[in-house]
Structure 1
Amino acid sequence: MEITLTTPALLFPALSLLLLAFTNRFMSLAKLIRDLKHRYQTSHSHLVFGQIQNLRKRLILIRNMQAVGIGSMFSCVLCMFTLYQGWQMAGEIIFGLSLVLLMVSMSLSLWEIQISVKALELELSDLEHEEATAPLILPKS
């Protein structure tokens, strides 16, 4: 397979959007962690502490997603440079590496989403438990 200088450039829009999405996730998580930390300092709730621990795992995953995504983008640029220099075989290998790094980044993203969904399911089950144990109040007619 022979790739041209424009082939790795095709990944730039996808990588840029992924990195933007990862950054938005990071910023949302950072705000949530700050809010939960304040809530924990006032309530010392074990539920809030558990949420903070869950968010710490997600934060590490997002950091790794960003790092691997940046590595993929760097590999694309390096691939373009090697192709520009006429080093076709090196360019093909580096392009393959950038695709693998992109897949790793997206896999980490899927893992982080699964952790997020589990955390939300716990929140909902806690709410459902409270609702099930609450006394039944009938409306007045």
Structure 2
Amino acid sequence: MTLNIETPALLFSATSLILLAYTNRFLTIAQIVRGLKKTYDEKENKSILLEIKNLNLRLTLIRYMQLFGVLSLFLSVFAMLVLFIDMQIIGIYFFGASLLCLLISLGISFWEISISVTALRVHLSDLLDSKKE
């Protein structure tokens, strides 16, 4: 089995865009947490505290998404370096590891999105319940 040096390079654009999306998510959630913290300090509402805890979990997941995304990119570059010095087997293993890291990152992303959707459904159910009354 042979692996061309161009194959690991294919991950660059995809991984860069994914990392940009992860960073945007992180910044948006961090801004929401800051606003909720200010509101909590003023009102000390327990539901706000629960929402902050949920967002904190999501921030942690995003950090791991970013970690595995960067690790994927790093291993891909390392695979290219190893392939450049004509070490096929080691290059294949590094590229495989980079793909695995990318899969882990995407899996964690799916988990974080699921948490987000569940939280939004809770908000919507509160809204729908108040309209019924």
Compute the TM-score of the two structures, normalised by the length of structure 2.
0.98
Structure 2 equivalent of residue 139 of structure 1: none
Structure 2, unpaired ranges of 5+: none
1:11 maps to amino acid? L
Question: What does the per-residue CA deviation read over 1:17-57, in whole Å, with 9 as the maximum and x for residues that have no partner?
Answer: 00000000000001000000011111111111110010011
SS of the counterpart of 1:76?
Answer: helix
Distance 2:49 2:132 in 1: 24
Distance 1:11 1:2 in 2: 18
Task: Give % identity.
Answer: 44
- Shift in Å at residue 126 of structure 1? 1.1
Distance 1:125 1:35 in 2: 23
Distance 1:54 1:126 in 2: 17
Structure 2 equivalent of residue 121 of structure 1: 121
- Shift in Å at residue 79 of structure 1? 0.1
- Shift in Å at residue 119 of structure 1? 0.4
Structure 1 equivalent of residue 12 of structure 2: 12
Instruction: List structure 1 segments (4+ residues) > 4 angstroms apart after TM superposition.
Output: none
Compute the TM-score of the two structures, normalised by the length of structure 1.
0.93
SS of the counterpart of 1:69?
Answer: helix
2:122 maps to amino acid? L
Residues 13-52 of structure 1: pairs in structure 2 closer than 5 A: 13-52=13-52
- C-alpha root-mean-square deviation of aligned residues, in Å? 0.6
1:55 matches 2:55: yes
Equivalent residues, number: 133
Structure 1 equivalent of residue 77 of structure 2: 77
Distance 1:64 1:8 in 2: 22
In our comparison, the structure showing a higher alpha carbon Rg is: 1
SS of the counterpart of 2:35?
Answer: helix
Distance 1:59 1:44 in 2: 22
